[in-house]
Structure 1
Amino acid sequence: MKKELIVNVALPYATYLLLHHYFGVANVPALAAGAVFPIVSIIVTFLRERRLQPIGLIVLVATSASIAGSFLLDSPTLLLAKGSLITGTVGLVFGLSLLWKRPLVYYIATADPDDRREGEALWPTTPRYRQMMRTITIAWTVALIAEALLRLALIPLLPIEIFLPISETMWIALFVPMTAWSWRYGQRTMSEIKPA
């Protein structure tokens, strides 16, 4: 978490402030320079692990597209909207996964082989388990899309210097309580399904 805060929040924000306020660089190139840090972090992780995480791919594409669009249109708004594009896309993927045989939350929750064995046994036989996975998926879909829309709404209302740190920390304000709620709800439901 500390590394993500430094790479995704502190370094882009410091770069923007330094370039824009101390060297007089225009908003678009100053924001684009700050966006390089998350891109480099994703590339380094890929080179080290030899695989690209789905979220990393979304961040890479969204950031690259927002940089290109901002330079083409000479508008910082697209760079500022990058976070909304990322969380909104992830929210849509969660929502669309409800049409899959099993929703995305199921695969996340059963990443461990023991959990996957238990999930494979419960899924066909336990409606309450299926309902739990779908409920958590719906909750994440709504939360992610709401966060994306709120972030978009803040762009015209706040100066860039205030918007940047708020925008880049909004995912924490979403992720921490949503993860805690998902875990508590999952634990409570599993204790009902499999009483001790």
Structure 2
Amino acid sequence: MLVDLVLPIGLYYALRAADVGYVASLVVSSLVPGTGMVATLVRERRLDSVGLFMVSAMLVSAGLSVVGGSPRFLLLKGALVMVVAGGWFLATARGPRPLALQFSRPLLEGRVGARDVSWDDLWAVSPRFRRVWRVSTVVWGVGALADAAVRGVIALTLPIDLAVGLGGVQYGAFSVVILVIVNVYQARAGLYHPRSDLYLAVPGVSGEGRAAPEPVA
């Protein structure tokens, strides 16, 4: 968050205070998130796909700004990123691994609900478990597209210096709102309670949310 969000905005306003132009300030500050991609490339000898996308979006926006003569194309980079993110979420919603599940699994598996049950097993036998993550993924996707629309309006209508700051605030506000919506839905669906019907309906799971022992052959 510090490198990808706070630092670029702070650097932009520092450059503007030094009378650097809009386009130059936006381009330089937009390069900061790319440092993570470079670090991954040097340390692990592989490209970070998210970082590569962010830098590519910045370069495309910068090129359009130079050709069109307007720094607002650079401001639209944030909207472009959210459109791609929203489309990515929605595209995976009906697939074997919805994106919300992939992002949440390292944080939640083994810590909430039926803690001793593999999510792979739950996914295989529980339609309700699959529905929870498909719905959660759709919520994130629709939310990202709505966020992109707001970003587009801000980038095209508000003063540039104000739009840059609002763009950063919007990332935080969007994340909080969607997280609240998704967590309320997941709690009501029983994801966090080991004795909810979501787990009790799964063969091999006891009322305590633990996997029943395998029968000995």
Q: TM-score range by the shorter chain?
A: 0.7 to 0.9
Of the candidates 104, 111, 122, which is equivalent to residue 109 of structure 1?
104
Residue 155 of structure 1 deviates from its aligned partner by: 1.9
Residue 140 of structure 1, CA deviation = 0.2
Question: In the alignment, which of 40, 60, 84 is matched to residue 55 of structure 2?
Answer: 60
What is the CA-CA distance between 1:187 and the residue it aligns to? 4.3
In the TM superposition, residue 93 of structure 1 has moved relative to its aligned partner by: 0.4
Structure 2 unmatched ranges of 5 or more:
111-116, 200-206, 209-217
Please report how far the alpha carbon of residue 162 of structure 1 lies from its aligned counterpart in structure 2 after TM superposition: 0.7
Distance in 1, matches of 2:98 and 2:38, equals: 28
Larger radius of gyration: 2
Alignment of 1:19-30 (within 5 A): 19=18, 22=19, 25-30=20-25
Q: Is the 8 A contact 1:132 1:186 kept in 2?
A: yes
C-alpha distance in structure 1 between counterparts of 2:102 and 2:92, whole Å: 10
Question: Percent of aligned positions with the same letter in both sequences?
Answer: 27
- How far did 1:169 drift? 2.4
**Residues 32 and 12 (structure 1 numbering): CA distance in 2 closer, same or farther, change over 3 Å?**
same
How far has the Cα of 1:170 moved from its partner? 1.0
Match of 2:90 in 1: 95
Report the residue type matching 1:6 in the other structure.
V
Looking at structure 2, the residues matched to 172 and 137 of structure 1 have their Cα atoms a distance apart, in angstroms, of 19
Q: Structure 2 CA distance, aligned partners of 1:114 and 1:92?
A: 25
Shift of 1:82: 0.7
Aligned residues: 191
Q: CA deviation at 1:145?
A: 0.5
**Contact 1:12-1:31 at 8 Å conserved across structures:** yes
Taking structure 1 as reference, are residues 29 and 4 closer, same or farther at Cα in structure 2, changes over 3 Å only? closer
Q: Scaled by the length of structure 1, what TM-score is found?
A: 0.83
1:147 is aligned to 147
- The question of whether the paired residues in 1 share the 8 Å contact of 2:98 and 2:133 is answered with yes
**In structure 2, distance between residues paired with 1:49 and 1:71:** 34
Q: Measure, in 2, the Cα distance between the counterparts of 1:106 and 1:26.
A: 42
Q: Distance in 1 between matches of 2:179 and 2:43?
A: 27
- Map of 2:77 onto structure 1: 82
- Does structure 1 residue 48 correspond to structure 2 residue 47? no
- In terms of mean alpha carbon deviation, does 105-114 or 83-92 score higher? 105-114
RMSD: 2.6
1:35-58 residue CA offsets vs partner (Å, 9 max, x unmatched): 222223432344334444443232
Alignment of 1:111-150 (within 5 A): 111=106, 118-150=118-150
Mapped contact 2:86–2:140 kept (Cα < 8 A): yes
- Which consecutive unaligned segments of at least 5 residues does structure 1 have? none
Q: Equivalents in 1 of 2:109, 2:135: separation in Å?
A: 22
Q: Deviation of residue 127 (structure 1)?
A: 1.1
TM-score (norm 2): 0.76
Q: Which has the higher helix share?
A: 1
| Contact 1:7/1:37, CA 8 A, preserved across alignment | yes
